[in-house]
Structure 1
Amino acid sequence: MQPARPAQAGFTLVELLVSLFIFAVLAGLGWQGIDGLVRSREASARELGTVLRRQNAIAQWEADLAALHETRALPALSFDGATLRLSRSTAEGVQIVAWSLRGGRWLRWAGVPQQRLAALQAQWSEAGAALDRDSPARLVMLDGLRAWQLYYWRDTAWTNAQSTGDADTQGQEQLPGGVRLLLSLDPPAGPAGEALLLQRDLQLALGRRS
């Protein structure tokens, strides 16, 4: 009589299927966790990039206004409701700069520094049209801009930048004591959300007249 063979150890088909199902569930949960972390990191990176762009734009805005330079032929600062033009001093001479909102983008155009009044006058006249042309002199400072407003500090109050101020002894409008910038920006949720308001006040200091 042959002795009985011992039963072979192993998994049944049902046990294998259950194990595979458990592994699949765990893998799916792990993938969702990794995907969530990646999405969160990407959203944080986008938000950080947006904040840095805004900071850079405001820093350039303040640098332009801090270097205002009045000439005999041109005002140091002029706003027509759409475009702000200013003359600023640089190491190479006097430069004309223009800021404007075009198609939801806050644009800055800067001319080549000049040392002749005639060249500066030509740049001043060119600044508005130059904002509509692609060129290395025109930079997109911010996207997603809905509107912008400017106010000047005159006497003891903020007034509309387009209102007429006091004139100096030569008939030119006097530089205001400060500039208030209000930007209406698209929120992170998208254009359909409520606009974000960014306000920046800056005291002005005038450079020498040439």
Structure 2
Amino acid sequence: MRQRTARGFTLIEVVVALVVMAVMSVMAWRAVSALATSRERNEAAMERAETLQTLVQQWELDLREVQQSHLFEAVNFDGATLRITRRRDAGLQLVAWQLREGRLSRWESPALTTADDLRDAWFRSQQLNAKDLRGLPGLDRVSGWQMYFFINNAWANAQSTGDKGNAGPGTGAMPPAGAASDAGSGLAAPPQGVRMRLQFGEDSGYRGELIREVAVESGS
């Protein structure tokens, strides 16, 4: 019987095999890269959604614990800063939500027990700089916001209701939570509700705008 002599691969066959392997490797790398990119985007979207949800929940909690102080309006908005006086177990607390340089930040004072402490906290909230705000909890890439107060069974722009949030006539120690309100203080009563509208930047990862409403149950 005639025996066929064994032969190896030709150069062309080797080149073709290498090309096929290279193409398959590129396709596999692209699939893995796309999967990793998609996973990173999903994780970033979940993180943004969680940050926004936490921030909104804190904003709603601040407004649900509004407490009048007889020195300043319990809820005051000047276009850039929303100031809220809220009750705490150890006294009152001043909270300032401020939008500056595309970042919405939340600042809070410690629990306060005297009128002087509240005045100092109010002035401190007016002196916050960009460096102070960067170290606070907040949300980046916010392009704008509007605040509306529900007063006399109607919504009105918070800035059009009049800014009466300057220091009032009260002096000495602040009344405890639950004490009767000072009708002669000249301060406007807190709104019955607050509506917030947030606009986001194009690179924020959020679409459209966010509108949230919360009822205000203020203590006198």
Q: Please say whether Structure 1 and Structure 2 have the same fold, judged by a TM-score greater than 0.5.
A: yes
| Structure 2 residue aligned with 1:83 | 81
Q: How far apart are the structure 2 equivalents of 1:194 and 1:64?
A: 24
What does residue 117 of structure 1 align with? 115
* CA distance in structure 2 between the aligned counterparts of 1:72 and 1:182, rounded to whole angstroms: 28
Gaps of 5+ in 1: none
Post-superposition Cα deviations, 1:119-140, rounded to whole Å, max 9, x if no partner, equal 111111221212544279x514
Q: Judge conservation of contact 2:97–2:105 (CA < 8 Å) in 1.
A: yes
Q: Which residue pairs with 1:154 in the alignment?
A: 151
Q: Which of 100, 103, 113 does residue 102 from structure 1 map onto? A: 100
Q: CA deviation at 1:90?
A: 1.5
TM-score, normalization by structure 2? 0.83
Deviation at 1:156, TM superposition (A): 2.1
Q: CA deviation at 1:72?
A: 2.1
Paired residues of 1:105 and 1:140 also in contact (CA < 8 A) = no
Q: TM-score, normalised by structure 1?
A: 0.86
3-state DSSP of counterpart to 2:69: coil
**Counterpart of 2:66 in 1: which secondary structure?**
coil
Amino acid at match of 2:70: R
Give the 3-state SS of the residue equivalent to 1:202 in structure 2. strand
Native 8 Å contact 2:194 2:213 kept in 1:
yes
CA 1:7–1:15: 2 relative to 1, 3 Å: same
**Judging changes above 3 Å, is the alpha-carbon distance between structure 1 residues 64 and 155 closer, same or farther for their aligned structure 2 residues?**
same
- Which stretch shifts more, 144-153 or 193-202? 193-202
Is 1:169 aligned with 2:166? no
**Aligned residue number for residue 139 of structure 1:** 136
Q: Distance in 1 between matches of 2:23 and 2:79?
A: 61
Q: Distance in 2 between matches of 1:9 and 1:195?
A: 65
Question: Percent same amino acid among aligned pairs?
Answer: 34
Q: 1:161 to 1:135 in 2, by over 3 A?
A: closer
Q: Distance in 2 between matches of 1:62 and 1:131?
A: 25
**CA deviation map 1:29-57 (0-9, x unaligned):** 11111111111111111111111111111
Letter in 1 for 2:8: G
The answer on whether the counterparts of 1:98 and 1:128 sit within 8 Å (CA) in structure 2 is no
Once the two structures are TM-superposed, the CA of residue 10 in structure 1 deviates from its matched residue by: 2.7
Unaligned 5+ segments in structure 2 are 165-181
Query: Number of paired residues?
Result: 201
